[in-house]
Amino acid sequence: MKGSAQAVDFMQRWLEGAQVQGKSPKTIEAYQRDVGGFLGFLSNYHGGDIGLNSLAGISVRDMRAWMAHERGRGLSARSLARALSAVKGFYGWLNVEQGVDNAAVASMRGPRVKPSLPRPVAKDDAREMLAMVDIQHKEAWVGARDMAVLLLLYGCGMRISEALGLNRADAPLPEVLRIIGKGGKERILPVLPVAREGVEAYLRACPHELPADGPLFIGVRGRRLGARAIQKLMLGLRGQLGLPASATPHALRHSFATHLLEAGGDLRSIQALLGHASLSSTQVYANLDQTRLMEIYNRSHPAAKGS
């Protein structure tokens, strides 16, 4: 970032602090991209060096110009809101570490973002997918492995990174599993018997010796299984069953939450199972359930049909 060495140094120190706090590599990468883009814009916009005094003097007009620039290059409202949040986080660090208290940045409001409803896989489709997993590979142990992974995603609500992050020492899986999830947050997760049995079936079929300190799920070369393999599996199943592109590994986690709610689960319990820090993150499943209820009403109720 030409002419902005001091600003970049501040950003790097902020990012290092975020790493120490346990932020994920992807979060750090997003922070660097968003705040780096912001500093680059300021350097071009003002045509000079961006140092501490420049950062302290950023005005509402500057902020609006940056946001207009971002929208002009095609950034979505959601992405811009995320970028603004990163910039505010950076300025929060500047306030603590350098005494920069900029009201213009702190008061800036991002664009309104309409919450996107998750797109779960329907119950029947989920059953069909599970029924077809074992015929996707010639090697029976690979099919058993993939079945075990999908059962953890759909039956337990795990993130794919959480399932693939399990080690051999974690099996046999207990009835209740302690998971370290996103942002280093810990949660307690009940493990359905069918998921535990799926993992045991995989271990019985696996031809490789799995050391206790090594991965539970491995690829054909013996290394820890990557998310790409499960994404490829879901791609194949989507094509065979005629499912939409939204039927991804993460959609199975959405399905776990949605189907629990439909069966009478309460939001607080589902929040704990998913590991959401805020109930508002879980609330989208209630919104989805309400949306489906209205669709059924409009399609089925005699008054809605005009009879």
CA distance 201 to 196: 9
- The 3-state secondary structure of the chain, one letter per residue: CCCCHHHHHHHHHHHHHHHHCCCCHHHHHHHHHHHHHHHHHHHHHHCCCCCHHHHHCCCHHHHHHHHHHHHHCCCCHHHHHHHHHHHHHHHHHHHHHHCCCCHHHHHCCCCCCCCCCCCCCCHHHHHHHHHHHHHCCCCHHHHHHHHHHHHHHHHHCCCHHHHHCCEHHHCCCCCEEEEECHHHCEEEEECCHHHHHHHHHHHHHCCCCCCCCCECCECCCCCECCHHHHHHHHHHHHHHHCCCCCCCHHHHHHHHHHHHHHCCCCHHHHHHHHCCCCHHHHHHHHHHHHHHHHHHHHHHCHHHHCC
Catalytic residue among 159, 187, 196, 238: 159
Determine whether 285 is an active site residue. Answer: yes
Cβ atoms of 39 and 105 within 8 Å: the answer is no
CA–CA distance from 82 to each of 39, 65, 124 (Å)? 16, 17, 36
255 token code pair: 């399905």
Catalytic residue among 82, 137, 250, 259: 250
Determine whether 299 is an active site residue. Answer: no
Catalytic residue among 253, 254, 268, 305: 253
Determine whether 276 is an active site residue. Answer: yes
Catalytic residue among 26, 182, 196, 224: 182
Determine whether 301 is an active site residue. Answer: no
Determine whether 254 is an active site residue. Answer: no
Determine whether 250 is an active site residue. Answer: yes
The residues carrying an active-site annotation are 159, 182, 250, 253, 276, 285
